[in-house]
Structures are given as structure tokens and as C-alpha cells.
């Protein structure tokens, strides 16, 4: 879920969202705090991305459980863009949060794909990508689809071992995908641990019979229908 302008400005208080100057690179203590974030893996694209330096991290101090934990790259400028209506538009921000069961219908026009071996949804005309891994949603926001895709391929854990090569851990939940699902996405969804999508579909079908509601009215996904 996108951060509010106020939350983003708070995260960039070291120098972003002002009318003058550019934010400074994240300092060592802030980075160290993020590297010891205790609740779950948080993801980043390294100390810089496409020539843009890492300028802020939420870490534990700025963590909001309803939003997630973010990392921010580049300058903060006042212009129309990803957040809409003017505000802080960054070349890249990555927000990691615990997945909450929901339908992706609220994302608007979107398409489903497989990235890093896990289900993913591309929306905001390609400038935003959600990847589903472990018990997490990893949201990548950038200024173009090419950059969002590049960042997705560079993701690695900031507070755990690992690299940007290879596949991400598969999700332990069934993502609430909507819209067309091609054979590649369908195969990945079918092979998730513990056959979670199949069990989710069966549970939704049972609830629909008991509640006399169609399965699509439940918080399920297209794979389950």
C-alpha cells in the first residue's frame, strides 16, 4: 500500500521533501538499525539503484505495522507522479509488509506475472509491482516499468543473508490475484507450499455454500475460482 505524503516526508526528514537541497545518503546508524529490524525480512536494492543512492530507511524507529517498512532512493521533488496530485516522487522506494488477505481489485488496471519465481502483480501503468514471498508483500514503486522491473530483479534482504540472484522464497499464502492468469502464473500458484491455493479455493467454496454467497464475493483470488 502506498505511503502517505506525510509518512514519506517523515522518512526523508534528513533532507527530502523540502524546497531546497537534496537528501543526504543514509547514515551508518540508520542503516545499522534497519539491518537489525526484528520482525521480518525487509527488502532493498542495495546501497544504490541505477545511480540513485539510498537516502532513507524506516527501520524500527519509523515502522508502521499497517504500512510496512520502507527504503527510499534518490531525490525528493515536488511534481506530479506516482503518489498523484504532486508530492515526493522518488526514483525507487521498496516497502515490505506482512501480507493481509485481500483482493487486488483495488489496485485498478493490472496484470499478473511471475518474477523471481514468485507470483507478482504489475499495476500503476507498470510503475508499481507487488511481489509475494514468504508471509510478505514486497512493493516496488518507481518511475517506469523498466526501472520497477530492474529493481525487482535486484531485491535482496537488508536484515538477513541472501543475494539478488535466484528465486525468492515462495509465499505461504494464496495471493488475492484478480484478472487473467496465464499458464506460468497458474503453475506457480498450484505449486505453492501445502497446496495453499487449492485449500483456499475449497474453503471459499464451503463458506459460499454456507453463507449463500458466490465465491467471488469472498476475499479469494482468480486462481481459486
Q: What pLDDT shows up at residue 15?
A: 39
DSSP 8-state class, residue 64: B
Query: How much is the CA Rg of the chain, to the nearest whole Å?
Result: 18
**Residue at grid coordinates 501445502:** 194
| pLDDT score of 33 more than 80 | yes
What share of the chain in percent tops pLDDT 70? 77
**Cα angle for residues 60, 62, 64 (degrees, 5° grid):** 90
Specify the higher pLDDT residue, 152 or 206: 152
Q: Domain limits of the chain?
A: 5-178
The whole-number pLDDT of residue 25 equals 84
The pLDDT of 96-118, averaged and rounded, is 96
Inter-axis angle of helices 183-190 and 196-211, nearest 10:
90
Residue whose C-alpha is closest to residue 123's, from 103, 100, 101, 139? 139
Q: Which of 87-96, 132-141, 205-214, 216-225 tops mean pLDDT? A: 132-141
Whole-number pLDDT of residue 85? 38
pLDDT of residue 219: 52
Q: In sequence order, which ranges of 181-222 are alpha helices (DSSP H)?
A: 183-190, 196-211
Report, as an integer, the average pLDDT of 201-210.
76
* 170-198 residue pLDDT tens: 999 999 999 999 999 999 999 999 999 99
Amino acid at each position: 500500500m502506498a505511503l502517505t505524503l506525510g509518512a514519506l516526508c517523515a522518512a526523508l526528514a534528513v533532507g527530502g521533501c523540502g524546497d531546497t537541497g537534496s537528501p543526504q545518503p543514509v547514515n551508518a546508524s540508520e542503516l545499522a538499525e534497519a539491518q537489525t529490524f526484528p520482525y521480518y525480512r525487509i527488502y532493498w536494492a542495495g546501497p544504490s539503484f541505477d545511480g540513485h543512492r539510498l537516502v532513507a530507511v524506516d527501520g524500527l524507529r519509523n515502522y508502521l505495522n499497517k504500512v510496512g517498512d520502507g527504503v527510499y532512493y534518490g531525490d525528493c521533488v515536488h511534481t506530479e507522479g506516482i503518489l498523484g496530485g504532486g508530492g515526493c516522487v522518488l526514483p525507487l522506494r521498496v516497502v515490505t509488509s506482512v501480507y493481509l488477505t485481500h483482493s487486488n481489485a483495488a489496485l485498478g488496471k493490472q496484470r499478473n506475472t511471475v518474477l523471481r519465481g514468485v507470483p507478482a502483480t504489475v499495476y500503476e501503468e507498470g510503475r508499481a509491482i507487488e511481489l509475494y514471498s514468504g508471509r510478505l508483500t514486497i512493493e516496488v514503486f518507481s518511475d517506469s516499468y523498466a526501472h520497477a522491473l530492474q529493481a525487482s530483479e535486484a531485491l535482496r534482504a537488508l536484515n538477513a543473508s541472501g543475494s539478488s540472484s535466484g528465486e525468492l522464497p515462495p509465499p505461504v499464502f494464496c495471493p488475492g490475484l484478480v484478472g487473467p492468469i496465464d499458464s506460468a502464473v497458474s503453475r506457480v500458484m498450484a505449486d505453492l507450499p501445502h497446496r495453499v491455493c487449492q485449500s483456499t479455493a475449497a474453503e471459499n467454496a464451503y463458506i459460499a455454500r454456507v453463507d449463500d454467497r458466490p465465491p467471488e464475493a469472498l476475499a479469494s483470488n482468480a486462481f481459486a475460482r
